[in-house]
Each structure stands twice: as C-alpha cells, then as structure tokens.
Amino acid sequence: MILATLLGSPLTPLEDVLRHVLEWLHGTAGLPWAWSIVALTVIVRLLMVPLAVKQIHSMQAMQAHMPEMKAIQ
C-alpha cells in the first residue's frame, strides 16, 4: 500500500484534469458546485460520443459476420 502511495495512481493525471476543469467551472465560469458537476458530466459524455459510435459500428460489423463465424465452428 505504501508503494502505491509513493508511485501514485495511474489515474492521477486524469483525476488532475477533471479536478481542474471542475474547479474552473465553479470558479471562473461561476457555476455552483452542483451545476459544475452536471456540466463536467455533459462534457465527458460528449467527449465519449466518438468512442460510442465506433463501438456501435464494430458491434454491427461483428453481427454481420456472425453467420460466417457460426459456420466455421
């Protein structure tokens, strides 16, 4: 446990970025903490949209190849 504390978490850079954005939304943009959290959630979800679209396309391609894979088995 001490080693993990000394080395830090691999998520520390992500935590730092999210914390800075949250503090900016609260401090500079003047949003209350609750709305800052909501805004940060919306921002993160919007950033994840391209990954979700890619996942959907990949899943559709896999389903299209499913009969071929069943035939091989």
Is 47 within a domain?
yes
What pLDDT is attached to residue 57? 96
Tell me which residue range forms the domain holding 55: 10-72
Is 14 within a domain?
yes
pLDDT, mean of residues 17-24: 96
Please report which confidence band the pLDDT of residue 28 belongs to, taking 50, 70 and 90 as the band edges. very high
Is 4 within a domain?
no
Is 1 within a domain?
no
Is 30 within a domain?
yes
Task: Note the Cα 70 to chain centre separation in Å.
Answer: 33
Q: Which two tokens stand for residue 72?
A: 């091989």
Number of domains in the chain: 1
pLDDT at 27 over 60: yes
Is 3 within a domain?
no
The 10s digit of each residue's pLDDT in 32-72 is 999 999 999 999 999 999 999 999 999 999 999 999 888 88
Please report which confidence band the pLDDT of residue 30 belongs to, taking 50, 70 and 90 as the band edges. very high
From 39, 7, 10, select the one nearest 22 (Cα to Cα): 39
